[in-house]
Amino acid sequence: MAFTDEQQAQVDVAVAIENARHANQMVFLTAQTKFDAIRLAQQTLIENARSKPAGERGITAADIADFANTLVAATSA
């Protein structure tokens, strides 16, 4: 049984809304993954630095960003 033109239009609108919602959800999840990776990278590097002598404990933002990018890349593979 085929849909009427009006029913098909309603289905098309519902599909378009769902596709937009899904796209927005994926953007949010991508940002959340990056945020979680940054937090994990920071915590890991700080914890690892505790075993180093006091003069060698420097952690830079670049170190955190590099490690976070490695974590994100690993979860994407």
pLDDT digits (tens, 9 = 90+) for 21-74: 999 999 999 999 999 999 999 999 999 999 988 888 889 999 999 999 999 999
What percent helix, strand, coil does the chain show, rounded to 5? Answer: 85, 0, 15
pTM over the 0.85 mark: no
Q: What is the 3-state secondary structure (H, E, C) of 42-73?
A: HHHHHHHHCCCCHHHCCCCHHHHHHHHHHHHH
Burial (Cβ within 10 Å: 0-12, 13-18, ≥19) of residue 64 = buried
What per-residue confidence (pLDDT) applies to 76?
78
